[in-house]
Structure 1
């Protein structure tokens, strides 16, 4: 099928207005997506990193208002809140030591390219591992 014509037109409009690389107005995006949803019989909607969304409750509430022929999958480091949490099927991946160990191995390899004094290297490694939050 390719890219839906409404999405292509919206992308072209945003590009011509210099919005490439930034967020388009939400009301415009909602309008285009609703047009797309009216012209297709169903499918999957995948949203990654909902924990980085500034209005996750509003987005998920809007998605729940869509026709039921759409399957919605979203990822987040945190569990959803409120009424939406009651309607979600959740799969939880607990953070374990193996993830932190893998991050440490990766960082050790990358740090070989830099010359730090040992105490500074340790501080940099610990800070990066701590802020990685298992990612």
Structure 2
């Protein structure tokens, strides 16, 4: 995630940000991997060079290394950069919620009701099954119904968190 954010945000500059060049040099010109601390420092410097930085991190619950991700998000929140706007989404998972609650206030949290989200997902799945050429191979009604049911039941809503302070 850190590498991806550094790359994406550095693309906003006309030239290679000095902080990215320094990070590359500190890793023996790419011969070794930077530490998480070095990546965080590089990201912070790149963000500080931008007028505004908008970051969207979707599906935190799908991350295999959640503890590390939550630590990184907590570090980023601690920077209190006024030009950084972060939107993160996740299904309701206790470890994610408890960590984010530490640095995102209640007013900045949005819970998407599962019934509303599930209906949207159901409509989307029906549309795709009806119009997507690749999905047309499942023509039997029982298979199509099973696809709809499984996707609807597993959707179970999601939780979105946002903070302008982060």
TM range (shorter): 0.5 to 0.7
Q: Per the alignment, do residues 105 and 64 of structure 1 end up closer, same or farther by CA in structure 2, a change over 3 Å counting?
A: closer
Q: Secondary structure at the match of 1:87?
A: coil
The answer as to 2:144 corresponding to 1:121 is yes
Name stretches of at least 5 consecutive residues in structure 1 with no aligned partner.
Answer: 18-23
The answer as to 2:101 corresponding to 1:81 is no
Name stretches of at least 5 consecutive residues in structure 2 with no aligned partner.
Answer: 1-11, 131-135, 159-166
Correspondent of 1:46 among 49, 55, 58: 55
Where do 4+ consecutive residues of structure 1 move more than 6 Å? Answer: none
TM-score (normalizing by structure 1): 0.61
Aligned residues: 124
* Cα RMSD for the two superposed structures: 3.8
Q: Which structure features the higher share of strand residues? A: 2
TM-score (normalizing by structure 2): 0.52
Separation in 2, partners of 1:66, 1:123: 47
